[in-house]
Every structure is written in C-alpha cells, then in structure tokens.
C-alpha cells in the first residue's frame, strides 16, 4: 500500500500534451507541485509532455515503476494491466470509468482487471475514481486543476471517499477552513483495494489523526466492521453513508455499482465498530474538525456559555434532541460568578451574560464556571458583535480553555465577517472548532461525547 502514497517512480499511462485532457492534468500535478520521485508519461502519440520524454509502453521504461496511473479508455485497460504486471508495477490507480457501473460489457472488462490482480498480486485503486492526493508526498492524481479544485496543505484529517465529487468537495472545504488534509483517496468501484483496506492503512498512518469515510455501499461489510473495530480504538472515524434510502441506493448502484444495503444494518455496523455516523457532508466535516482539535470529555454534562439568550435556547434544544444533559453548577461556582456582576444578572446554566458584558468579566465567568467539577464540556455562544467586547476576548477565552485540557470546547456564534474573523482566530490559535451556528456546534460536541462513551464501553468489554 505504501507504493500508492510514497512511490519513488510513477508512470502515467494515457498522459497527454493537450491541456484539459485528464492525462495532461494528472502529469502536470506530478511535474509542477513538488512530487519528489521520477515521472514517466506513457502515450503512443507524443514524444514530449511538459518537457518529459514519453514512453510507448510501461514495458519500455528502463527503471522500476512503483505506481502506475491509468487514464485511458476502459477497453484498453485490461491489456495495460497485463503490461503493468509484467513490469512488476507495485500499485495501480485506474482513473478511467466505463466498467461495472455501466453494465454487462463494463463488468466483463473489470473482471479481466481483477484476474490480473489475483494472478500478479498487484494492488489496484479504482477504476472509476480520481485516486489520491497526499499533501505530504504530493502524489496527486486528481484531474481537476488546482485553480478549480483547491488542494489543502498538510493537516490532521484523511478522507476515504467512494464518490470523487463528494470526497473532493470535502477536500476543498478542508482547505477553505484552513484545516488541511493528510491523505485523500477516491476509490470508486473498489475492484481490489476497498474501504476496509484503506481504513486499515490509515489506521496505522501517523500523520492521520481523524478519518472521514464516505461510502455508497459495502465491498465487504464483515471485513469493514472487523477493521473499523481495531482502527477506532486508535483514532476517530467519521462515517458518511450515502445511498441510505431505496432511491439513493438505486442511484448508487448505477454510480459505483455497489449494493447500498439496508440502512438499519449500516447503522448497527457503524455503532458496533465505533464509526461516528454523519448524515450530511457538512456534518462529516464538522465532526472531523472537533475530533481533530479537541480532547474527548470525561462525561457528557455540558455548560452552555455566552452572552446571548437566543442562541442558548437553540443550543438547549439541540442538546435535548441529542441526549446531552446540561451540567448543574454548584452553588459555590454560581456565587463566585455572581460577585462579578450586578445583582439582577441571572447566573445559571445556560449562562447568558447578556450583551453588556465586558471581555474581562466574560473571561472570569468562563473560568469560574468551567472549573466547576460538574462541567465536562463547553458550548461557547459568544456574540462578538457587542460594543463592550474587545478583540482580546479571543485570547481570554482561548487561555481559559487551555487551562482545562480535558474539557472540550466548541464555538457556535452566529454572525458575519467580523464574527467569522474572530471565530477563525479562536480556531487557528486555540484549536477551538468554530461553527456558523449553535446547532452545528452542539452536534459536533455530540460526536466527541459519542466517541467518549464508545471507548468506555469497549474498555469495559476488555
């Protein structure tokens, strides 16, 4: 598997000199953006592509080839696979579509590929995928150019995606939110390497702290559960199962030729194996960000803290929906906080310090309330817009959070550019994951609590 992500040499079969062609864009990725290994374009027509000598066949390449990327019409792929096997290529990514997902003829072609795999031991990702983006080694087989599909720098989250578009969308979000990515893999039809293999590999990958797994169906459900059970003990896995419904499942079948399976079974499999289930693309990213940035809480008692009653009401609704109880603050904590404020200020949980709190008082109240032993985790709902809060409130909040390294914080203030600027500061500097609204913050916290409970349950079993 290592040859997929850190090859010393790559052959691009179906390389092209014509900008816009998949084989051109992929070659360019390897030539222009810092890939350190050898690059061998293979094509029958051209002599040079982007300054590199072009080879007529992978067999003509004078050195060993660790990874071959195939972007040629489906019907040519079985023969090329035979050549790759003879060349003793270790790993192949087949970008081309036109296989099992298109019907009987395509399925026959895919069978021929599988036969080569079984005979030779060569490993294959795809077909019908965009392959890999590795932010560290710069293996990048995504044919959409970086000007249109932005590549994140190195970060803690890896993505395994059956759908290229969904996976690539999540990848771009990781860049937009400045989170970064470790490894991205779009694996398409999974004729050989499947989601379980990839999960196993990323489970041992040191640069991957959290895994997002987007699947349309199970290649081998039993194996996935078995692998996931091991991996989730080491690091969090967020699962986004699409094709949940009858309609969605039928569509998935003609997309990546999978059997989507009954959703209750998927749900049970995820629960049993510790995969945290997300129901939307946004949720998958929201969960992964919280899991990458914050510790797991020891318990599930939440403090809702801020200067807005309205967002506290929303957070309370979602806490109840998700079974997250509000922490009961001790009398001493409440009295300590009461001393800071005028007598009519109501000190309770949720704590709404109202729109005329200062940064300093907000910080003190936060410190005193989080230090209450009954509080396990915090939903921060600070509306930064109020005139008496200064920008320093970000550091004040951040420093309080650092004094409680075993209590996770999530942020969910609602606002515009100024709010987003301060929220991003909070996230970048103090790793408090920031969300656009309280609903999403609470759900992200739920993911931390869910994992905490899961791990305790597993420990109890051992």
Residues 14-73 that bind a second copy (CB under 8 A): 19-22, 25
Q: Answer yes or no whether residue 405 interacts with a second copy by CB under 8 A.
A: no
Q: Which of residues 189-228 bind a second copy (CB under 8 A)?
A: 214, 216
The reply to whether 321 sits near a second copy by the rule CB under 8 A is: yes
Shortest reach from residue 2's CB to a second copy, in Å: 27
C-beta atoms surrounding 108 within 10 Å: 12
Q: Which is nearer to a second copy, 278 or 290 (CB)?
A: 278
Span of 39-47, 168-176, 224-232, 396-404 interacting with a second copy by CB under 8 A: 168-176
Selected range binding a second copy among 85-93, 194-202, 220-228, 409-417, rule: CB under 8 A: 409-417
Closest CA to 238 of 279, 189, 188, 192: 279
Which one, 239 or 438, has the nearer CB to a second copy?
Answer: 438
- Rounded to 10 degrees, the C-alpha dihedral 152/153/154/158 comes to 10
Rounded to the nearest whole angstrom, what is the least distance from the CB of residue 387 to a second copy in the complex? 5
Choose, by CB under 8 A, the member of 264, 339, 417, 459 that binds a second copy.
417
Instruction: Let me know: does 91 contact 60? Beta carbons within 8 Å.
Output: no
Q: How many residues bind a second copy (CB under 8 A)?
A: 90
323 sits near a second copy (criterion: CB under 8 A):
no
Three-state SS for 257?
coil
Question: What six digits make up the tokens of 158?
Answer: 């890896």
Angstrom distance (rounded) from CA 417 to CA 27: 39
78 binds a second copy (CB under 8 A): no
Query: Judged by CB under 8 A, does residue 76 bind a second copy?
Result: no
Task: Choose, by CB under 8 A, the member of 175, 192, 195, 427 that binds a second copy.
Answer: 175
Judged by CB under 8 A, does residue 316 bind a second copy?
yes
Q: Interhelix angle for 438-461 vs 221-234, to 10°?
A: 100
Rule CB under 8 A: is residue 439 a binding residue for a second copy? yes
The answer, yes or no, to whether the previous bond of 127 is cis (omega within 30 of 0) is: yes
- The stretch among 3-11, 193-201, 237-245, 369-377 that binds a second copy (CB under 8 A) is 237-245
Choose between 1 and 437: whose C-beta lies nearer to a second copy.
437
Window 144-163: contact mask with a second copy (x via CB under 8 A): xx-xxxx----------xxx
* Alpha-helical segments (H) within 15-151: 22-32, 77-86, 104-120
Query: C-alpha distances in angstroms, 96 versus 75, 92, 194, 223?
Result: 10, 12, 17, 27
Written as one string, the DSSP assignment of 306-344 is: ES-HHHHHHHHHHHHHTT-PBP---HHHHHHHHTTS-TT
Q: Which is nearer to a second copy, 37 or 309 (CB)?
A: 309
Residue with tokens 């390294």: 405
Q: How many other CB atoms are found less than 10 A from the CB of residue 454?
A: 20
358 CB-contact burial (10 Å; exposed 0-12 / middle 13-18 / buried 19+): middle
* Closest distance of CB 460 from a second copy, Å: 29
The footprint of a second copy on residues 361-400 (CB under 8 A) is 383-388
H-type alpha helices, 95-163 = 104-120
Query: Which range in 52-60, 107-115, 280-288, 448-456 contacts a second copy by CB under 8 A?
Result: 280-288
Q: Which two tokens stand for residue 151?
A: 């590549």
Question: Does 112 participate in binding a second copy (rule CB under 8 A)?
Answer: no
């Amino acid at each position: 598997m290592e040859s997929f992500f850190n090859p010393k040499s790559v052959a691009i079969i179906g390389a092209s000199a014509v900008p816009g062609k998949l084989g051109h864009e992929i070659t360019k990725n390897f030539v222009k953006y810092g890939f350190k290994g050898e690059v061998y374009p293979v094509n029958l027509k051209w002599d040079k592509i982007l300054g590199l000598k072009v080879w007529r066949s992978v067999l003509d390449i004078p050195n060993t080839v660790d990874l071959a990327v195939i972007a040629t019409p489906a019907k040519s792929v079985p023969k090329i696979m035979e050549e790759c096997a003879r060349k003793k290529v270790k790993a192949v990514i087949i970008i081309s579509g036109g296989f099992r997902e298109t019907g009987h003829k395509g399925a026959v072609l895919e069978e021929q590929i599988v036969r080569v795999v079984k005979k030779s031991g060569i490993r294959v990702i795809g077909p019908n995928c965009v392959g890999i983006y590795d932010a560290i080694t710069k293996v990048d087989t995504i044919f959409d150019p970086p000007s249109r599909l932005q590549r994140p720098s190195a970060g803690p989250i890896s993505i395994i995606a059956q759908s290229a578009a969904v996976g690539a969308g999540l990848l771009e979000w990781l860049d937009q939110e400045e989170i970064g990515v470790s490894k991205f893999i779009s694996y398409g039809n999974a004729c050989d390497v499947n989601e379980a293999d990839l999960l196993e590999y990323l489970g041992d990958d040191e640069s991957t702290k959290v895994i997002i797994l987007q699947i349309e169906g199970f290649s081998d459900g039993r194996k996935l559960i078995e692998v996931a059970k091991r991996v989730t003990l080491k690091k969090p896995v967020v699962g986004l199962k699409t094709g949940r419904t009858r309609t969605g499942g039928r569509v998935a079948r003609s997309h990546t030729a999978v059997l989507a399976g009954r959703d209750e079974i998927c749900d049970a499999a995820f629960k049993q194996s510790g995969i945290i289930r997300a129901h939307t693309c946004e949720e998958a990213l929201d969960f992964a960000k919280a899991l990458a940035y914050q510790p797991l809480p020891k318990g599930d008692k939440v403090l809702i803290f801020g200067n807005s009653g309205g967002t506290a009401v929303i957070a309370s609704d979602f806490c109840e929906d998700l079974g997250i109880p509000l922490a009961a603050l001790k009398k001493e904590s409440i009295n300590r906080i009461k001393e800071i404020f005028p007598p009519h200020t109501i000190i309770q949980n949720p704590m709404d310090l109202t729109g005329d709190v200062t940064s300093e008082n907000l910080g003190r109240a936060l410190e005193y309330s989080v230090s209450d032993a009954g509080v396990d985790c915090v939903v921060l709902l600070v509306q930064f817009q109020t005139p008496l809060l200064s920008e320093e409130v970000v550091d004040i909040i951040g420093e309080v959070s650092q004094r409680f390294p075993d209590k996770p914080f999530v942020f969910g203030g609602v606002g515009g550019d100024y709010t987003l600027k301060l929220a991003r500061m909070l996230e970048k500097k103090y790793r408090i994951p920031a969300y656009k609204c309280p609903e999403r913050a609470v759900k992200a916290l739920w993911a931390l609590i869910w994992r905490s409970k899961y791990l305790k349950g597993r420990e109890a079993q051992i």
